[in-house]
Structure 1
Amino acid sequence: MSLSQCSDNMNIEKIESQVLERVKPDKEERETVRKISKELLEILDNELDGKKEPKVVGSVSKGTYLKDPDIDIFVKFPLSASREKMEEKILNVGKKILEDTKEKYAEHPYIYGYYKDHEIDIVPCYDIEDVSEMKSAVDRTPFHTEYIIDNLDEDQKEETILFKAYLEGIGAYGAKAEVWGFSGYLCELLILHYGSFKEVIKAASDWKPGKKIEIVEGQKDFDDPLVVIDPIDPERNVASPVSMEKFSLFVLSSKQFLKEPKMTFFFPNDVKTKDREKLSDLIKKRGTELIGLKVPKPDIVEDNLYPQVQKCLRKLLHQTSHKDFKILHSDYFIKDGEILFIVEVENSKLPEIKKHRGPPIWVDNTEEFLDKYGKAVYLEEDRMWVDKGREYTEIKNTLINIMDEVDLGSDLNPFFPDKCRFIGKNEILRSEKRPLTEFFDNSFPWER
């Protein structure tokens, strides 16, 4: 080992120690979490009949949680229970014992709320002997918990806490649609496979799309950037939620961390909101135009909302690009009951005509092109061309037309185009300085 490698390892170890001091729950917090979990299980036992078994699952039961954890409790129902009765029972009991409750949705409804200032999820599932019997995806979760408890040692639990803190810092922790990153279970499996946080980072620095990790032998092929076979269900890829962007971000960050390890990978600095003058100067220097679009946020759960918003933006941009508008950058922001789309374009207005390419004169359909466009046709080299008028020259009218014709998501369609509102650069600068600051901030989290 070279002196520089030795120095880097010492630096990483120092950083790991400092990170754990900040993110690992101390003895007092662990005892508090244990007591609250025990109390909730006892309360649920009293509220439910003996055929339903409540059980703490997830990171709390596995000892891989960071400070201020959510506590996940799954209630096992017999296979004979109907889904409707199961869901109704959990929602009613949850509302009775938790405060500030909210119904959420995974594959079916569950209840979220607070108990003694701790966030709690109470989720119904079926009591199955084997994953082959499962009726919904959440039925696997207790098996995942048991597998990690049985296989992850105490040192690796600490390594998992480090890994989760790292992913949180770079913005890649969580499998929900808002993030499309690494789930807690995926983190645990990667630590189990590689042995430590540092070894995961070293391995990931060389990953390419299609990387496959088989803790057990897989039983099918997957077309995902990262494939980690679920040891509980070999037909499942635990890493399927990880998007190409978050996979790439993790690989790049791993390379950079090994090159220059520092605390900002775990605790990035906040992006400071720019004032109106600085944002206006930035737009002027870029020589581009901004268009904003606001639409009411439908009252649906986040895991249904985010995929629809992402799909909506993709479709709007795809169709707008086909109309010859050059899209440079786009993003969405969800806040205060609204969805804000911001799009940066080279120009928001196009010429009245566009150059339309025809066939070379040597091919068979030249007569059709000539018949269609007549005396407007001209030659450049051996190819026919014609200058055509555009149907739409302004991006606003183009977008309105697209909204009328394209499916933008079942819960978003009712808002387009009548309930959406276009906002120009001046209004964005006046009322949306924070989103606009984030929109133009292209720095990686660890570079801020």
Structure 2
Amino acid sequence: MTEITPEFKRKILEYISERGDILEEKREAVSSISRRLEKVKDDYRLKYDIFLGGSFAKGTDIKGSDIDIFLLFPEEYDPMKILRILRREFPESTEEYSEHPYVIIKGKNFSIDIVPAYMAKSPGNLMTAVDRTPFHVEFVKNNFTSQMKDEARIMKQFMKAIGVYGAEASVQGFSGYVAELIIYHYGSFEGAIDKAATWTIPFFMDDGDGKFKGANLVIIDPVDNTRNASANVSKENLSTFILAAKLFQMRPSEAFFSSTRADCRMPGNAIVVVVPCKKCNEQTDVPNLRRVSSVLKKELESVGFNVIYTSVFMDRAGYIVIIPDAERMGEASLHIGPPVTSPNVIDFLKKWGEGTRFGPPFMLGDRVAVMRERDPVDVMGAIADTLPRVKFSNNFIPEKIIIVEGGDIAKLPENITSHFIYPSLGKWASPSYRDYVQ
């Protein structure tokens, strides 16, 4: 059983809590923007309620958390019209798109999202996924003690530091609400760590076995029992969380609460496909990049390449990293036939019995094989041949794609070249680093 002292928790909470002056700045910003939103409502004769959401409203926020203000409309509204109004009345904002358009006001220490949504009567009566947020806020407010909120803060920082925090498409990790639900189920951070260290994949926290096929982690949303709150968690991020829980259980350390990404060095045979976009949007574009990456990998493997790693990123453009184990396939390939005990061996010999210019069929263990001819192919050419046949989302500009290799890779953004392995284990996975921090 994991044992951590009250002093250990106090130090972590001090580390992850906002400074008093920034906290006051946040409160003043919420009041100021709320007053401006009330004026917008009156000036444009709009009908909406202003609702403070997110972890700041719940009391489970950690240092660096942003603020979410929702405009809850009781009836249908024109999202683009509201967006235009918000951009006009908040010229300091920028527009963003997810399932819904919204605006962000970026400050020095934090950002504020202003998000239009529908005022749902119940979690089962939603127009968009974001309409569920007020029910999540009320659930935490009504079911969490102040101690539980602190435990949730500690869990969020643990997840953030090990690199699995964030439900957005580019991360596929644990949302803040899922972190809160884990505390709700297990009562404390150390109780959750002890349980997580024993999880298997897939793991069903609730009575979800048989439901939600294909999910890696099932945590049923208590405000909507038809929903898996952790549906977006990838197998890699769930595995990272389980491993970190095991290591923390073995030896609790502050190393698990400080973000320490280990740098990578891109191999010389790496290839990066750079896909320009009209206006990059991680929520919609990263899933498309993953699909394109999967198609490229399958196509390369179909002509004989072994692709040892792929990853995708967004950084003012889309990036697909491909690492093959060879840059060129030769003129011969191995074609393995059926075992000699199979009746299909006769058909194989009818086709290949005369052999090829490399020689006759031969035995490979109990199977008949032949070395057959193929056109030599280099990996860059194979990628270039495949890309025109791949479907990109409308936000990308496929005619301006660039394929980068060799020395040109050093010209790419440092975030791509130094962190192309994603998700990766941070320094917390190193015994020597944990000993150093301890």
Residues 1:153 and 2:145 are matched in the alignment? yes
Determine if contact 1:90/1:111 at 8 Å carries over to the other structure: no
Q: How many residues align?
A: 420
Cα distance in 1, alignment partners of residues 261 and 217 from structure 2: 29
Determine if contact 1:360/1:384 at 8 Å carries over to the other structure: yes
Which residue identity is paired with 2:242?
V
Q: Name the structure 1 match of 2:95.
A: 103
Q: Secondary structure at the match of 2:153?
A: helix
Residues 1:164 and 2:156 are matched in the alignment? yes
Q: Secondary structure at the match of 1:72?
A: strand
Q: Deviations over 1:336-378 (max 9, x none)?
A: x333333333221122011212345665555654554452252
Q: Deviations over 1:246-274 (max 9, x none)?
A: 0000000011111122222111335468x
Determine if contact 1:315/1:408 at 8 Å carries over to the other structure: no
Q: Name the structure 1 match of 2:436.
A: none
Determine if contact 1:292/1:425 at 8 Å carries over to the other structure: no
Q: Name the structure 2 match of 1:77.
A: 73
Q: Which moved further from structure 2: 245-254 or 19-28?
A: 19-28
Q: Name the structure 2 match of 1:184.
A: 176
Match of 1:9 among 4, 11, 29: 4
Alignment of 1:277-426 (within 5 A): 289-335=269-315, 337-360=316-339, 365=344, 368-373=347-352, 375-376=354-355, 378-380=361-363, 383-405=367-389, 407-411=390-394, 415=398, 419-426=400-407
Runs (5+) with no aligned partner, structure 1: 274-278
Determine if contact 2:4/2:190 at 8 Å carries over to the other structure: no
Determine if contact 1:41/1:55 at 8 Å carries over to the other structure: no
Determine if contact 1:219/1:234 at 8 Å carries over to the other structure: no
Cα distance in 1, alignment partners of residues 162 and 379 from structure 2: 35
Cα pair distance change 1:222/1:36, threshold 3 Å: same
Cα pair distance change 1:89/1:404, threshold 3 Å: closer
- TM-score normalised by L of structure 2: 0.86
Residue 130 of structure 1 and its aligned partner are, at CA, apart by: 1.2
Determine if contact 2:271/2:321 at 8 Å carries over to the other structure: yes
**Structure holding more helix per residue:** 1
Q: Name the structure 2 match of 1:438.
A: 419
Q: Secondary structure at the match of 1:325?
A: coil
Q: Which moved further from structure 2: 368-377 or 168-177?
A: 368-377
Cα pair distance change 1:432/1:42, threshold 3 Å: closer
Determine if contact 1:98/1:114 at 8 Å carries over to the other structure: no
Q: Which moved further from structure 2: 312-321 or 231-240?
A: 312-321
- State the identity %: 29
Q: Name the structure 1 match of 2:132.
A: 140
Cα pair distance change 1:272/1:413, threshold 3 Å: closer
Determine if contact 1:105/1:301 at 8 Å carries over to the other structure: yes
Cα distance in 2, alignment partners of residues 433 and 132 from structure 1: 45
Q: Secondary structure at the match of 2:319?
A: strand
Residues 1:227 and 2:218 are matched in the alignment? yes
Q: Secondary structure at the match of 2:320?
A: strand
Determine if contact 1:218/1:234 at 8 Å carries over to the other structure: no
Match of 1:35 among 28, 38, 51: 28
Cα distance in 1, alignment partners of residues 263 and 335 from structure 2: 46
Cα pair distance change 1:435/1:133, threshold 3 Å: closer
Cα distance in 1, alignment partners of residues 115 and 272 from structure 2: 39
Residue 389 of structure 1 and its aligned partner are, at CA, apart by: 1.6
Determine if contact 1:319/1:402 at 8 Å carries over to the other structure: yes
Residue 151 of structure 1 and its aligned partner are, at CA, apart by: 0.8
Cα distance in 1, alignment partners of residues 284 and 401 from structure 2: 20
Which residue identity is paired with 1:145?
V
Q: Name the structure 2 match of 1:276.
A: none
Residues 1:122 and 2:114 are matched in the alignment? yes
Cα distance in 2, alignment partners of residues 391 and 174 from structure 1: 45
Residue 124 of structure 1 and its aligned partner are, at CA, apart by: 1.4
Q: Deviations over 1:40-88 (max 9, x none)?
A: 2222122114631111111111111112331111111123x24xx2x13
- CA RMSD, Structure 1 to Structure 2 (Å): 2.9
Residues 1:19 and 2:2 are matched in the alignment? no
Q: Which moved further from structure 2: 200-209 or 322-331?
A: 322-331
Q: Secondary structure at the match of 1:331?
A: strand
Which residue identity is paired with 1:204?
A
Alignment of 1:177-256 (within 5 A): 177-214=169-206, 221-223=211-213, 224-256=215-247
